[in-house]
Amino acid sequence: MNRAVNRAAKRAVNAARKLLPRTLRARLIAGLLVLLVVTCAAVGLATAAALRHFLVDRLDQQLTEAGGRYAASLEHTGTGAGPDTRAQTPGTLGVRLLDGRVTAAGVVDGDADDADNPDDEDDRVAFSPAQQHALAALPVGGPAGTLDLGRTLGRYRVRAVAGRDGDVLVSGLPLRPAEDTVERLETLELTVFAIAVAAAGAAGAVWVGWSLRPLRRVVGMAERVSALPLASGAVMLAERVPDDDPRTEVGRVGAALNRMLGHVGDALARRHAVEERLRAFAADASHELRTPVATVRGHAELALRHPGDVPAPVRHSLERIDAEALRMGAIVEDLLLLARLDAGRPLAEAEVDLTRVALNAVADARAAGPGHRWRLALPEEPVLVSGDEHRLSQVVANLLANARTHIPPGTGVELSLEPADGHVELTVTDEGPGIAPELLDRVFERFVRGDRARSRATGSTGLGLAIVHAVVQAHGGTVTVASRPGRTSFTVRLPGARPARPARPA
């Protein structure tokens, strides 16, 4: 029961929150309108109450001044009470009570016979026992009170005075005219206040919109800055908030934002300069290392081909020198490729049959890892993309080598190829133990290796997936990874082959 009530309360709170205005402009206008409505309601209630009190006081004053003249005319009929009756306001009530019983009662109805025939039956009224009891309970000579005399007469202000013969004379005036006046005032106020609130809402919307123009400029500038590619490369933060009055809150925010953008621009410029120096260093170092590495390999191979006897320890050392020089040469080539891609060097662009690339890559992987179960899932028609065939072959080979290196023998690896919506998706899925969660977001960074000991043993440099990421990005595509124990998938999404441009007529 309590849980159901709590859920219902939460749903009600959430629904109320959805109805609240979201933007600052809407909140300001809504607040203005709420304050105006509350003010108008307070003014309307106060004026209506004041008018009602004033009109009731006037009725009480008239009752005091009239005394019991009309009621006395009912007591002493035929004694010249006509003129007194004619002087009474239509609707005036007169009641004579003797020993708590109503002996005569009448209401001035405004007819022509009120002055000549005060005994007219049209002026006579009758009361129920409850009403007679209420009339008899009025304090004699006390202040006036309000009495409900039924649907026919309505509500009256009545006052009781002592008669000449030991009876009680009650005079009353109807409250209906006063209530009608108050209702007309309330209707008029409601109309005027509704028009005023509508006009204030329209004017407030214009005024708030004009007042928030500087803030909109700040928001627009912030949105443009947020759309800039700040992750890498040279970034020009030329956007600035227009100078505004520093004495205003928006002006101070704009000035602070301009200072912050200046600091961010300086930091990005310094970062870009450092990255450029690192790229230049990597490119220069790779270029410079290619020659000595090739020389070391050449001398090692020459020594191994010596016709004379070479001691076994020396031969083993020469073989290790040749293997490590080969590994170092691969690292140098990878670093040089990454440096070229970082520098934005254009790749070759031609129509590439990705199906044939996948077939060749799986054949090579099957030869390199015969202990794994390799599978291919290819469409019936060739899948074509535009790009550098050599680099795309390197992407597929690196993904398959990554799977082969990090899963135990006997594990299945599948390469699938599928065109979709003008793009091509190439997926490499293995059934290995998966990638550690702490490494999943960093697998495409350089020199990140899942198992450092095994990577060193197998010659992994931690650059294979970084090259995959860089080459795919250079082709305008994306590469993503999803991993859990028993399934790891790398998905490469590349644009499809561009249609050939028609030849220009001669």
Mapped to the 3 state alphabet, what secondary structure does 95-133 carry? EEEECCEEEEEEECCCCHHHCCCCCCHHHECCCCHHHHH
Size of the chain in residues? 506
Q: Which of 271-280, 300-309, 356-365 has the lowest mean pLDDT?
A: 271-280
Confidence (pLDDT) at 413: 94
Q: CA 251 to CA 463: how far, in whole Å?
A: 49
3-class secondary-structure state, position 326: helix
Average pLDDT over residues 440-465: 68
Enumerate residues 6+ apart whose C-beta is below 8 A from 395.
467, 468, 471, 472, 492
CB 366 within 8 A of CB 478: no
Confidence (pLDDT) at 115: 46
Confidence (pLDDT) at 110: 64
pLDDT digits (tens, 9 = 90+) for 15-61: 656 666 667 778 888 888 889 999 999 999 999 999 999 999 998 88
Residue 503, pLDDT > 50, answer no
- Residue that wins the pLDDT comparison between 238 and 482: 482
Residue 505, pLDDT > 60, answer no
- Residue that wins the pLDDT comparison between 1 and 12: 12
- Give the relative orientation of helices 464-474 and 312-342 as an angle to the nearest 10 degrees: 30
Average pLDDT over residues 2-15: 66
3-class secondary-structure state, position 496: strand
Q: Which two tokens stand for residue 220?
A: 């627009």
Q: Which two tokens stand for residue 339?
A: 């440096």
Confidence (pLDDT) at 448: 76
In DSSP terms, 161 is beta-bridged to: 169
CB 348 within 8 A of CB 388: yes
Q: CA 390 to CA 385: how far, in whole Å?
A: 13
Q: Which pTM value belongs to this model? A: 0.49
384-419 b/e with 16+ CB inside 10 Å = b? Answer: ebbbbbebbbbbbbbbbbbbbbbbeeebebbbbbeb
Q: CA 275 to CA 478: how far, in whole Å?
A: 23
Residue (of 122, 83, 130, 124) closest to 103 by Cα position: 124
Give whole-number Cα distances, 434 to 438, 447, 452, 483, 492, in Å. 12, 19, 16, 5, 18
Q: How far is CA 500 from the centre of its chain?
A: 45
Amino acid, single-letter form, for residue 125: V
Average pLDDT over residues 354-379: 92
Q: CA 54 to CA 66: how far, in whole Å?
A: 18
- Residue that wins the pLDDT comparison between 122 and 257: 257
Q: CA 343 to CA 336: how far, in whole Å?
A: 11
Enumerate residues 6+ apart whose C-beta is below 8 A from 16.
none
Confidence (pLDDT) at 53: 93
Place of tokens 């020594």: 303
Q: Would the CA dihedral through 86, 87, 88, 89 be positive or negative?
A: positive
Residue (of 360, 372, 366, 361) closest to 468 by Cα position: 361
Confidence (pLDDT) at 81: 43
Confidence (pLDDT) at 120: 52
Region of residue 93 (left: phi > 0; alpha: psi -120 to 50; beta: else): beta
What ranges in 137-248 are assigned the alpha helix state H?
Answer: 150-153, 176-211, 213-226
Average pLDDT over residues 445-454: 64
Q: CA 342 to CA 443: how far, in whole Å?
A: 18
Average pLDDT over residues 450-464: 58
The highest-level CATH class for domain 350-495 is alpha beta
Phi/psi for 237 (5° steps) reads -90, 75
CB 479 within 8 A of CB 491: yes
Q: Name the residue ranges covered by the structural domains of the chain.
A: 18-66+178-211, 68-174, 224-345, 350-495
Average pLDDT over residues 308-335: 78
Gap between the terminal Cα atoms of the chain? 86
What ranges in 227-311 are assigned the alpha helix state H?
Answer: 249-304
CB 96 within 8 A of CB 74: yes
Residue (of 355, 363, 351) closest to 383 by Cα position: 355
Q: Which two tokens stand for residue 16?
A: 């109320």
Q: CA 421 to CA 111: how far, in whole Å?
A: 93
Confidence (pLDDT) at 6: 67
Instruction: Report strand pairing: 168-174 vs 93-98.
Output: antiparallel
Q: Which of 14-23, 240-249, 419-428, 490-499 has the lowest mean pLDDT?
A: 14-23
Q: CA 237 to CA 341: how far, in whole Å?
A: 25
- Residue that wins the pLDDT comparison between 158 and 110: 158
3-class secondary-structure state, position 377: strand
CATH number belonging to domain 68-174: 3.30.450
pLDDT digits (tens, 9 = 90+) for 54-103: 999 998 888 888 777 787 777 655 443 444 544 677 888 888 888 888 88
Residue (of 157, 135, 138) closest to 58 by Cα position: 157
pLDDT digits (tens, 9 = 90+) for 137-175: 889 888 888 888 888 888 999 999 888 778 888 889 999
pLDDT digits (tens, 9 = 90+) for 205-249: 888 888 878 778 888 777 777 777 776 666 677 777 776 677 777
Q: Which fold has domain 224-345?
A: Helix Hairpins (1.10.287)
What's the mean per-residue pLDDT of the chain? 80
3-state secondary structure 421-451: CCEEEEEEEECCCCCCHHHHCCCCCCCCCCC
CB 93 within 8 A of CB 158: yes
